[in-house]
């Protein structure tokens, strides 16, 4: 993959979760594959035994208490895995590799970046995966391991109040990307402004925006021509960009 993309891609945010399908579930990933979306995004955390699971949050609720995932092993989570409330990352990657979609692998874990890289290699997805994280240290560790693997720095926060401040904010984001050796910026919706896109494109960075929940938002983002829009309304947004 090379930035910029020839056209803006719709990305299934946490899979195609609709019609009773949960976010980051195997059925959501499978439905995204069925829809033929250009990109599929999942959130991934690590367990204490080195296994990786799909989860936005680094904990699960057990007996009414929040237990950090790194304190658990696969056998501890067997009941949740059996009923599909949690999914092993390898099961999701197995589905993605049977498609033409690129993968946005949003890394929510800590200190197990080598396992992430090995898993991407194991499923033959190195050439069509972007590993994103809000932690520059995690992205730097991935680059140390696999320099050619694409990475994206997740950036959130309030927008600057005016064009001058937005230009400075964009320069700061570009600086953070360079420090992380990231190839792309994964921008929270509020940060997707013309000064931001112009600055990042000037640094030859990829740009992805999260998250479009309705058609008006998606149409507005399309005018900025990012590489990808993380979508929670795939049916409408696929039609808009087709």
Sorted by sequence, the CB contacts under 8 Å of residue 13 that are 6+ apart come out as 41, 210, 211, 230, 231, 232
Which pLDDT does position 242 carry in this prediction?
63
- CATH code of the domain in which 230 resides: 3.20.20.190
DSSP class of residue 101 equals -
Ranges under pLDDT 70 in the chain: 242
- 40 inside domain: yes
Count of CB atoms situated within 10 Å of the CB of 181:
15
- 1 inside domain: no
Which pLDDT does position 198 carry in this prediction?
96
- 4 inside domain: no
- 183 inside domain: yes
Query: In which domain, by residue range, is 150 found?
Result: 9-241
- 165 inside domain: yes
In this predicted model, what pLDDT tens digit does every residue of 87-114 receive, in sequence order?
Answer: 999 999 999 999 999 999 999 999 999 9
**CB 33 within 8 Å of CB 96:** yes
- 2 inside domain: no
For the chain, give percent helix, strand, coil, nearest 5.
40, 25, 35
**Tally of domains in the chain:** 1
Q: What stretch of H or E contains 119? A: helix 113-122
- 3 inside domain: no
- 175 inside domain: yes
In this predicted model, what pLDDT tens digit does every residue of 174-198 receive, in sequence order?
Answer: 999 999 999 999 999 999 999 999 9
């Amino acid at each position: 993959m090379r930035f910029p993309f020839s056209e803006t891609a719709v990305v299934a945010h946490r899979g195609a979760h609709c019609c009773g399908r949960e976010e980051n579930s195997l059925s959501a990933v499978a439905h995204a594959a069925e829809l033929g979306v250009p990109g599929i995004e999942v959130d991934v955390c690590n367990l204490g035994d080195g296994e990786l699971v799909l989860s936005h949050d680094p904990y699960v609720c057990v007996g009414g208490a929040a237990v950090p995932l790194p304190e658990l092993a696969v056998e501890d989570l067997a009941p949740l895995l059996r009923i599909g409330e949690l999914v092993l990352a390898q099961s999701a990657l197995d589905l993605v590799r049977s498609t033409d979609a690129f993968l946005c692998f949003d890394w929510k874990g800590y200190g197990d970046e080598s396992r992430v890289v090995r898993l991407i290699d194991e499923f033959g997805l190195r050439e069509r995966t972007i590993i994103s994280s809000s932690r520059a240290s995690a992205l730097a560790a991935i680059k140390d391991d696999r320099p050619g693997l694409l990475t994206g720095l997740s950036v959130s926060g309030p927008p600057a109040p005016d064009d001058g401040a937005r230009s400075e904010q964009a320069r700061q984001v570009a600086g953070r990307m360079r420090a992380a050796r990231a190839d792309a910026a994964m921008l929270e919706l509020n940060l997707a402004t013309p000064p931001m896109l112009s600055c990042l494109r000037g640094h030859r960075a990829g740009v992805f925006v999260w998250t479009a929940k309705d058609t008006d938002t998606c149409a507005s983002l399309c005018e900025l021509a990012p590489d990808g829009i993380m979508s929670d309304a795939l049916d409408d947004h696929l039609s808009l960009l087709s």
